[in-house]
Amino acid sequence: MKASHGRIGSRIILVFLVLYLTTGALTVEAIGQSPVRRVPQGGCPDLIDLIKELKPTVVNISIERHILQHSSTRVVPLFRTRPDRLDHGDEGRERFQNDSLGSGFFCDSDGHVVTNAHVVEGAAKILVTLSSGKVIPARVVAVHPDVDLALLKIKPPYPLKRVDLGDSSKVQVGEWVLAMGNPFGLGRSVTVGIVSGKGRFLGLGSHDNFIQTDASINPGNSGGPLFNMAGEVVGVNTAIIAAGRGIGFSIPSNYIKELTAIAHRTAPPSRGWLGIYVDDLSAEQAQTLGAGPVRGTVVDEVLQSTPAFLSGIRKGDLILNANGEQIRSGRHLSRIVAGTRPGDLLRLMVLRGGKTHSIDVKIGKSPE
């Protein structure tokens, strides 16, 4: 019996020893391994193939401008959002000046090129340089009345590759984007970054609704495309802030549909309409309304027989959000309404008499 017990005890000790050594070995191996690498969701892919695919869609634009030469000297800024208007009252002799001004891209295979309106403003002659190096004359066929966009037309010398237009309303802050153009007249180049902000107002017009990006946008990039990682154009590069670094702005690509509609003499997409006038909320108004932090926009006037009037929106209502999106200002609400199709329902959350109310408004068609 004692020998049997001894053999059993030895076996138990041996099993424990094997388990200990095995566990120890696994632990040492685990410690020696590199940590698991986590790839961010929506991370930036390898851009080599994407850039090769997109480059033929982008063009360089230069113009011959009809100007007056005179003795006065004037420093021309390296970049400007819109070119200074020429003073034709000055005495001097006429001449033409060649400028390598910007970039553009093919929005179809028929030779239509999207660019900034300020790139071709005042041009006596427009030249478009294709990715092959071939130079083709172009003409302006449409200019957007509200934003800095123009549509050019060339006669295609061979089958052209066009861009795919993305839905700029779906652009998210933090997603990767690629800017392509002709910075400083050096030739085609690309920069990459992320979307830094949306709905930026720069004071250039009532329809300011810029996409902000940290992808480098330099002089000569104006009119060039801002691509998402699916290779779709989500913006048209248009402005930089001279005093800032890493701050560039693009016009949302959804305005291109309006531009092409103008060129084809078809009705542009209808914009949504509420029929109200609003004011931004002040700190005093927020305290009076019991809104807490300053947010939303206050209804200043409701026009008779409008979608807002028929849905029960009243003067003095504080509009807090629209379709679940918190309203930052009156301009922010205007952009949301304008981007909603007539006939669709827009759910507004309003503060009235210290209580919140949900109001569904059937969006109307803008009379403008």
> pLDDT tens across 325-353, in order?
888 777 778 778 877 888 889 999 998 88
| Predicted local distance difference test score (pLDDT) of residue 86 | 31
Output the DSSP codes for 326-352: EP-SHHHHHHHHHTSPTT-EEEEEEEE
Res 206: pLDDT = 56
Both tokens of 138, joined, read 């172009």
The H-or-E segment that residue 147 falls in is: none
CATH number given to 164-263? 2.40.10.10
- What pLDDT is recorded for position 114? 96
Q: How far apart are CA 192 and CA 158, in angstroms?
A: 30
Q: What is the mean pLDDT of the chain?
A: 75
Q: pLDDT tens-digit profile of 191-250? A: 899 999 887 766 555 566 789 998 888 777 889 999 999 999 999 998 666 555 667 889
Query: Is 148 among the catalytic positions?
Result: yes
Residue 158 has pLDDT above 90, yes or no: yes
Domain residue ranges in the chain? 164-263, 272-365
**What pTM does this model have?**
0.61
Query: Choosing from 62, 103, 216, 222, which is the catalytic residue?
Result: 222
Active site residue 317: no
Query: Which CATH code fits 272-365?
Result: 2.30.42.10
Which range is least confidently modeled, 48-57, 176-185, 235-244, 323-332? 235-244
Structure-token pair, residue 351: 């503060």
Cβ atoms of 77 and 219 within 8 Å: the answer is no
* Identified catalytic residue from 144, 148, 216, 332: 148
What is the rounded CA–CA span in Å between residue 66 and residue 88? 11
| DSSP 8-state code for residue 274 | -
Q: Does 164-263 match 272-365 in CATH topology?
A: no
* Per-residue pLDDT, 100: 55
Question: In whole angstroms, what is the distance from residue 67 CA to residue 245 CA?
Answer: 32
pLDDT tier at 253, thresholds 50, 70, 90:
very high
Q: What is the pLDDT of residue 258?
A: 85
State residue 112's pLDDT score.
95
Nearest to 351 by CA among 307, 326, 274: 326
Residue 360 annotated in active site = no
Average pLDDT, stretch 41-70? 76
Q: List, for residues 16-30, the tens digit of each pLDDT value.
A: 444 444 444 433 333
Q: Can you tell me the distance from the alpha carbon of 327 to that of 350, in angstroms, rounded to the nearest whole number?
A: 11
Whether pLDDT at 113 is above 90: yes
Residue 91 has pLDDT above 60, yes or no: no
User: Which of 62, 103, 112, 118 does the annotation list as catalytic?
Assistant: 118
Higher local confidence (pLDDT), 123 or 161: 161
Whole-number Å distance between alpha carbons of 248 and 197: 10
Q: What is the mean pLDDT of residues 248-263?
A: 87
